[in-house]
Amino acid sequence: MRTNREDSFDAVIVGAGFSGLYLLWKLRGQGLNVHLFEAGEDVGGTWFWNRYPGARCDVESVDYSFSFDEELQQEWRWKERYPAQPEILEYLQHVADRFDLRRDISLHTRVQSSQYDEDTRTWAVHADGAEVTTQFLIMATGCLSVPQTPNIAGLESFAGKTYHTGDWPKEGVDFTDKRVAVIGTGSSGIQLIPEVAKVAEHLTVLQRTASFSVPALNGPLDPEFEREVKANYPERRRRARASSAGVERGDNEQNALDVAHEDRVKEFDGRWGKGGFALLGAYQDLMLTDEANDTVADYVRDKIRATVEDPDTADSLIPRGYPLGAKRICVDTNYFETYNRDNVTLVDLRKSPLESITPTGARTGDADHEFDVLCLATGFDAMTGALDRIDITGVGGERLKNKWQHGPTTYLGLGVAGFPNLLLIAGSGSPSVLANMVTAIEQHVEWTAELLGYMSSHGYDTIEPTPEAEEGWVAHVNEMASYTVFPKAASWYMGANIPGKPQIFMPYVGGCVEYEKKCNEVAEKGYSGFVLR
Ligand code: NAP
């Protein structure tokens, strides 16, 4: 590696979430001169910004955590089965302190642009007044890090306070005795709604699309379970890496339609009773055909009918028109039960469309709804949003944003043709959001660190995918998605939640284990599909 000046680095990392922190530790350990820029006031990435009441990961805490350091995983004690946002943030702060990462992190510093210089083969990085150069520019900017505020007529005219779940105030929001409205019933809304209902005078939920949700069955972490996990952690982590979802769900190899209805219901009941994502692993074809998907979708619909007392409200809460899981399935605590409360009203925007936000509330087709506070749980400009907002210019002055105007193109979700030494962690075209993110991130960080070590020991300065390899990978990602029911929903996986965004299925559905095999094969063949100079 070439440099050691203060404004000149071997690697610049953007983002101090799970990816950026691990990458910083890993690359520093290889003797590289690394710096990390983070826009937030502290480390944590998505867990720094998403502080809304109820915010919680729906992967279990013992799995949604780093495996790279045995002492860390033995010492850290998770409080609950599913970790709440404050606990995850505390964990990431602890990781930053424990591994002395902060000395190489500039907080509160947003990267605005970066240009590749073909003569020096370096990237110039401009970040809130900081100007540095680096050999490698590594984007650990997250898949769900740019909140999306919808363009609803009259939104700015609202006289009360408006909050977005993805950019929640650090000091919190007191809903006591307030009339509150929530727009958005995806994972964030489904977590926020029961918490607001507990304290607000009245809660109005403005729902456009009903979601499939399964109960988390959260609770304090059982000490016996914790002991068992910690005694077998390496094996548990190995199995997670060797799985499709990056976490063991006890996936069943059978097809749903090869099984009698009563047996299927028994299998679904068992998994429903365990809580969380286990339901999705009930049969291997649930995401492959409409018919198989219907079996589990109908099962969840029946659960909703059985939970919600008012039949009209239940009917509105029943998801229809898209396969279960094709919009990311939600995991909840008392979500559907919340609609049995006297202080909660569901407004079905499919029956009564949202016309405008007014100074005192919202006007829908047939009524005015008054409230004091509006919460937007309206999601993110996913997968590409953070990269789109940085002006990244590669070879020949080509802008990444322009290159991706018809949808993101990458090789393995790790590199982009025409952008040498620009590397992505959990980029579009990798399993990322379809997996336990921490498993996916660890695999990417380790692959990237090995690559940089290989380049250094073999005397290479630059790496970039060939256009052919990139084209082939994009075609493969699309082909794999086409064998599933995923593209049948207008989801953020497809970019469908952002007006004008090209609609292409962005994550890789082939599963973590197959994906990692491909990445390793590429490395073993001397980084086939990449050009090294
Ligand atoms: P989301 O899944 O994109 O949901 C956004 C919601 O806002 C949808 O219900 C959407 O309705 C609604 N919406 C958007 N614009 C609207 C408009 N103009 N009028 C009415 N409704 C509108 O976003 P999210 O809930 O923040 O979740 C995003 C992802 O983050 C999740 O899928 C998950 O991967 C991750 N996440 C995970 C957790 C967890 O670990 N538990 C928690 C939160 C988030 P339509 O569907 O009709 O567009």
Which of 378, 432, 494 has the most ligand 1 atoms within 8 A of CB, as the residue to mutate? 378
Q: For residues 271 and 316, is the Cβ–Cβ distance under 8 A?
A: no
In angstroms, the CA 227 to CA 221 distance is 10
CB neighbours of 224 closer than 8 A, spacing ≥ 6? Answer: none
Check whether 2 has a pLDDT greater than 80.
no
Average pLDDT of span 205-211: 98
pLDDT of residue 129: 87
- Of ligand 1's atoms, which has the minimum distance to the CA of residue 150? 18
Check whether 332 has a pLDDT greater than 70.
yes
pLDDT of residue 287: 97
Q: For residues 256 and 283, is the Cβ–Cβ distance under 8 A?
A: yes
- Of ligand 1's atoms, which has the minimum distance to the CA of residue 331? 41
pLDDT of residue 173: 98
pLDDT of residue 189: 98
pLDDT of residue 314: 98
Which of 52, 188, 192 has the most ligand 1 atoms within 8 A of CB, as the residue to mutate? 188
Check whether 5 has a pLDDT greater than 60.
no
Predicted TM-score of the model (pTM): 0.97
Check whether 20 has a pLDDT greater than 70.
yes
SS3 content of the chain, % helix, strand, coil (to 5): 35, 20, 45
Average pLDDT of span 36-48: 98
Does the C-beta of 363 come closer than 6 Å to ligand 1? no
User: What is the Å distance from ligand 1's center to 398 Cα?
Assistant: 32
pLDDT of residue 76: 98
What does the CA dihedral 48, 49, 52, 56 come to, rounded to 10 degrees? -50
pLDDT of residue 366: 82
Does the C-beta of 56 come closer than 6 Å to ligand 1? yes
Which of 148, 168, 187 has the most ligand 1 atoms within 8 A of CB, as the residue to mutate? 187
pLDDT of residue 174: 97
Alpha-carbon 319 to chain mean position: 22
- Of ligand 1's atoms, which has the minimum distance to the CA of residue 376? 7
Alpha-carbon 500 to chain mean position: 21
pLDDT of residue 1: 39
pLDDT tens digit string along 297-307? 999 999 999 99
pLDDT tens digit string along 119-152? 999 999 999 989 999 999 999 999 999 999 999 9
Check whether 399 has a pLDDT greater than 90.
yes
- Of ligand 1's atoms, which has the minimum distance to the CA of residue 209? 47
Check whether 385 has a pLDDT greater than 90.
yes
Of 106 and 3, which is predicted with more confidence? 106
Does the C-beta of 164 come closer than 6 Å to ligand 1? no
**Amino acid sitting at position 201:** E
Check whether 3 has a pLDDT greater than 60.
no
User: What is the Å distance from ligand 1's center to 186 Cα?
Assistant: 4
Q: Which residues pair with 430 in a beta bridge?
A: none
